Amino acid sequence: MSDQFARLSLNTMTAKGWTLREAVEAAAAAGLPAIGPWRDRVAEAGVDTAAKILRDNGLRVSSLCRGGFLTGVGDESAALDDNHRAIDEAAALGAPELVIVAGGIPDRDLPGARARLADRLARLVPYAADRDVRLALEPLHPMFCADRAVVSTLAQALDLAAPHPARTVGVVVDTFHVWWDPYLAEGIAAAGAAGRISAFQICDWLVPMTPDPLVSRGMMGDGVIDFGSITALVRDAGYTGDIEVEIFNEKVWATNGYTILEVMKQRYRDLVLPALAG
Amino acid sequence: MSDQFARLSLNTMTAKGWTLREAVEAAAAAGLPAIGPWRDRVAEAGVDTAAKILRDNGLRVSSLCRGGFLTGVGDESAALDDNHRAIDEAAALGAPELVIVAGGIPDRDLPGARARLADRLARLVPYAADRDVRLALEPLHPMFCADRAVVSTLAQALDLAAPHPARTVGVVVDTFHVWWDPYLAEGIAAAGAAGRISAFQICDWLVPMTPDPLVSRGMMGDGVIDFGSITALVRDAGYTGDIEVEIFNEKVWATNGYTILEVMKQRYRDLVLPALAG
């Protein structure tokens, strides 16, 4: 493994066509030390087999995607049960961080949805803490507030995390979701100072956006995000963990997985690595 | 004119098919006291004729849309000249507020674009102040940060306004752009306390979004925004000005203008007015 990729992780969504085994073996062969699996790929393999695949290939898990969707009205037991299972899976895989996507608004009451999220997060924390899994709150771009995540900024995620110890609740810095934030530097610095940066995920913001904003995430360098400056903020905040490439993009998904890996390594080397060293 | 519509204004973009004269005459006939023209409609009529049309129909201008686009690299004289013309037009129409849409990023340097905006705003303020026109900074939804406006939140707009007297630089509260903000209540309260709420524009957030996010703005009630609670925040912040309906939506644009006016009056009465009285 080349040292320059010692922190680079492949999120399984980036090479969506691969099974977990294919993704892990290809990442390992490409010299990557880590992978960020989604639960669907783990479920296909079975969690015990997934853990064995990771061990056999010497890869660590940067984070498990994802739990959450905790904003529903009414009976919350199904949502909590699913999150308990996600925490168990993270523990079985040795994943230190479980990414939490909050969930959207089932009605027009946004403050209500945010309050339910806070309550249910508090109910999950002890279960996760007992299993050494940190709940990593991911602010999603505000365009997803209605249908996917009522957590929209790092400042808000840190406010939600604040009642809980830093070892139990962290926040995700995903360039696609936070690059526009006028207070991004303050948010990343505060997350670092609180010891709460759980994950650093990278991909680009395409202009124009694709018709479905969910798949408008581009390979680093194909959009308008300045990876150097955001990486420097994360570096200066003291984060030393993995850097996960997570891209939802139909064109990327139509590309051969090995090509995706080579392009992402090259872009990482050109756009991210200089700021890590700097 | 019925008192219940004493603050309701038709933005010309909502009835896009109409000339300025058609929009003004229809708004007046519908009992509205105000209109929010875009500059294209004013230019078609000619500014002197536009002013006469407004006087003849007894309508005031809630705001003029729009100046701005001040983030370009290099020679800024054309952008400043255009903004001077927009200020002149606002003054000629008796428009107290000129909406400013910041402009996007010409390269990957977002902090640089924001700094250029601040510099150029400072250069425009004396010219606008001399003509009794307030520059109304409009935070646009963060999904427009790259290509349209690097001002993304009320807090950021207030920071940009802060160096200038409140009578010279204000901020726009547009429900579509700000509804998701976790710190919306604080932002509206701060804008009110600073005497800087220039305009209150309303339209809804549709789920799912349309493929072109620019025209994903819906008639109040057709989406997920809670107009009662946001109107109450604006009311409690001391804003007593006009409430402008500004919708970009292909289906609305395909509707007869008189129907649009009747629907917007009904939705305003049902969704906004109770909170104004409350």
Question: What digits encode the pLDDT tens for the residues A60-69?
Answer: 999 999 999 9
pLDDT beyond 50 at A1: no
Q: Does the distance separating the beta carbons of B212 and A213 come in below 8 Å? A: no
Q: For all residues of chain B together, what is the average pLDDT?
A: 97
pLDDT beyond 70 at B194: yes
Q: Sorting pLDDT into bands at 50, 70 and 90, what band is B219? A: very high
The residue with tokens 């997985």 is A257
Q: Does the distance separating the beta carbons of B142 and A181 come in below 8 Å? A: yes
Q: B221 at the A interface (CB within 8 A)?
A: no
Distance CA A24, CA A45 (A): 12
Contact B218, B260 (CB under 8 A): no
Q: If 0-12 CB within 10 Å is exposed, 13-18 middle and 19+ buried, where does residue B210 land?
A: middle
Q: Does the distance separating the beta carbons of A209 and B142 come in below 8 Å? A: no
Contact B63, B34 (CB under 8 A): no
pLDDT beyond 50 at B262: yes
Residues in A touching B180 (Cβ below 8 Å): 110, 142, 145-146, 152
Largest CA distance in chain B: 51
Question: What digits encode the pLDDT tens for the residues B79-137?
Answer: 999 999 999 999 999 999 999 999 999 999 999 999 999 999 999 999 999 999 999 99
Question: What digits encode the pLDDT tens for the residues B50-62?
Answer: 999 999 999 999 9
**Cα→Cα distances A5→A248, A260, A269, B89, B176, Å:** 22, 15, 8, 57, 42
Nearby residues of A121 by Cβ (< 8 Å), 6 or more positions away:
A70, A100, A135, A137, A160, A164, A169
Residues in B touching A182 (Cβ below 8 Å): 114, 151-153, 155-156, 159
Round the CA-based radius of gyration of chain A to a whole number and report it.
17
Q: If 0-12 CB within 10 Å is exposed, 13-18 middle and 19+ buried, where does residue A34 land?
A: buried
CB atoms inside a 10 Å sphere around CB A184: 21
Q: Sorting pLDDT into bands at 50, 70 and 90, what band is A277? A: confident
pLDDT beyond 90 at B2: no
Contact B257, B18 (CB under 8 A): yes
**Cα→Cα distances A130→A22, A277, B165, B177, B238, Å:** 32, 36, 55, 41, 49
Residues in A touching B156 (Cβ below 8 Å): 182-183
CA distance A242 to chain B (A): 24
pLDDT beyond 90 at A28: yes
**Cα→Cα distances B43→B48, B91, B93, Å:** 10, 14, 12
Disruptive mutation site among B145, B186, B210, B270 for chain A (greatest number of A CBs within 10 Å): B145
What is the pLDDT averaged over residues A8-23?
Answer: 97
Q: B211 at the A interface (CB within 8 A)?
A: yes
* Helical axes A77-93 vs A47-57, angle rounded to 10°: 30
What is the pLDDT averaged over residues A103-124?
Answer: 98
pLDDT beyond 60 at B13: yes
pLDDT beyond 50 at A107: yes
Give the per-residue pLDDT at B254: 96
**Cα→Cα distances A233→A168, A227, B88, Å:** 23, 10, 43
CA distance A21 to chain B (A): 35
Question: DSSP letter at B59?
Answer: P
The tokens describing B91, both together, are: 């003054």
The tokens describing B247, both together, are: 């919708």
Give the per-residue pLDDT at A278: 66
Q: B209 at the A interface (CB within 8 A)?
A: yes
CA distance A229 to chain B (A): 9
State the first-to-last Cα distance of chain B, in angstroms, to the nearest integer: 22
Q: A174 at the B interface (CB within 8 A)?
A: no
Are β-strands B204-205 and B217-218 bridged in parallel, bridged antiparallel, or unpaired? antiparallel
Q: B175 at the A interface (CB within 8 A)?
A: no
The residue with tokens 């990023």 is B105
Distance CA A215, CA B238 (A): 41
**Cα→Cα distances A15→A24, A207, A247, B186, B246, Å:** 11, 22, 8, 42, 42
pLDDT beyond 80 at A2: no
Largest CA distance in chain A: 51
Give the per-residue pLDDT at B1: 43
CA distance B110 to chain A (A): 8
Residues in B touching A145 (Cβ below 8 Å): 179-180
Q: Does the distance separating the beta carbons of B156 and A182 come in below 8 Å? A: yes
Provide, rounded to the nearest whole percent, the portion of chain B with pLDDT above 90: 98
Q: Sorting pLDDT into bands at 50, 70 and 90, what band is B277? A: confident
For residue A80, give the amino acid letter: L
pLDDT beyond 70 at A125: yes
Distance CA B3, CA B9 (A): 13
Backbone φ and ψ for A37, nearest 5 degrees, come out as -80, 150
Residues in B touching A147 (Cβ below 8 Å): 207-208
Q: B224 at the A interface (CB within 8 A)?
A: yes
Q: Does the distance separating the beta carbons of B156 and A209 come in below 8 Å? A: no
Question: What digits encode the pLDDT tens for the residues A157-202?
Answer: 999 999 999 999 999 999 999 999 999 999 999 999 999 999 999 9
Residues in B touching A186 (Cβ below 8 Å): none
Q: Does the distance separating the beta carbons of B110 and A179 come in below 8 Å? A: yes
Give the per-residue pLDDT at B278: 66
- A62 alpha-carbon distance from chain centroid: 9
